[in-house]
Chains A and B, each alone.
Chain A
Amino acid sequence: MTIQATAAMHDTDATILRAQVVQCTREAFAAYSIDVDLDEGDPGPPAHEAQIVAFIGFGGARLRGTLTVMAPQQLWQMTYPIAVADGGEAGANDLLDWCGEVVNQVLGRIKNQLTRRGVELQVSTPKAIHARQLTISRSAQRSVCILRARSERGAAIGVWFDAAVETTGMLFRSASEAVPADAEESMIEGDLLMF
């Protein structure tokens, strides 16, 4: 796994961000019964099988960037939450729509973790596209982490968290100070709160 902090981003901040990306990607796919094993190193040579790339932007007073998730079409199909008649597959447009929702949920988890550390973000609406032989090109200035994941079923997943800090100081406070006092009361995925 590669961590590459920007010139302005402290290594400690990059390490925290990387840990959140790993944890949240793992949890998001696990919610759809896909276990992913994120390992070190770049995603490697482009896959020849049909891929779908889903991406979503984020921004705030202290951090901005993009989250991109690339995986084989067949793996995305496994996460599709609606039963398709006769055991068939989701249509192309439905699957693209769903991939956008999944990357939105991955970023949502990251965003909610960062909120607890005092970093608030606004997110864009997600997009997804079909691709073949696509490679992730590292930005020397911005990439926080590029992860290669392998699902339990063997399919490779590429996760690219590309971010720039908008502050000259530390993005996060130290780990022991990072979580606000009321974080225990904050909602997590799947929670319901009635007013």
Chain B
Amino acid sequence: MAKKVMVVDDSRTMRQQVGIVLTAAGFEVIEADDGIDGLEKVQQTADLAMVLCDVNMPRMNGLDMLAAVKSDVRFTDLPFLMLTTEAQPALITRAKQAGAKGWIVKPFKPELLVAAVRRLVGAV
């Protein structure tokens, strides 16, 4: 069974672009369009393998979503990989301290994205 990866980004095109790459690599992709949507879908999705998350989004940003998810004991071990145009060291440090496993600066390289996802959830 394909492992489920949630892609959280307010750009539909970006979600589709990531989804195409990950689907071709054998993953099942679930989309969420901001941090609130992502938080709800994390709680509703069984067997979610990891979350790929933008930072700057309306309603709830990716770092706040990360903190909210990690505060729930059911999801302490759920891997987060941040995918964003941001590269501020302070934000990267904040994500690391909140429990994220990695950071990619957009635009992403498909082979690096797939390698990172496989490293976090295992090959499919």
Contacts and interface: CB of A to CB of B under 8 A. Distances in A.
Interface stretch (A43-51, A103-111, A158-166): A103-111
Given A104-B56, A112-B86, 9 more contacts: A31-B107, A82-B16, A98-B11, A101-B14, A108-B87, A189-B87, A189-B107, A192-B102, A194-B116
10 contacts: A31-B107, A80-B13, A98-B11, A101-B13, A105-B85, A108-B84, A115-B87, A189-B107, A192-B102, A192-B116
B27 interface: no
B11 A97 contact: yes
Contacts, number: 97
Given A81-B17, A189-B107, A123 B88 contact: no
B1 to A, nearest CB: 25
Contacts of A86: none
Interface of B: 10-14, 16-17, 20, 56-58, 84-90, 92, 96, 100-109, 112-113, 115-116, 119
B11 A101 contact: yes
A104 B85 contact: yes
Contacts of A111: 85-86, 88
Given A94-B13, A105-B85, A125-B56, A192 B107 contact: no
A182 B93 CA distance: 14
B108 A190 contact: yes
A137 B108 CA distance: 35
A133 interface: no
Contacts of B109: 190, 192
Interface string A12-54: 0000000000000000000110000000000000000000000
A168 B13 CA distance: 41
Given A123-B56, A187-B87, A195-B101, A105 B13 contact: no
Nearest to B17: A81
Nearest to A190: B109
Contacts of B100: 195
Interface string A168-195: 0000000000000010001111111111
Interface string A73-85: 0000000111000
Interface string A91-127: 0001001101100110111011001000010011100
Given A112-B87, A188-B87, A194 B119 contact: yes
Nearest to B85: A108
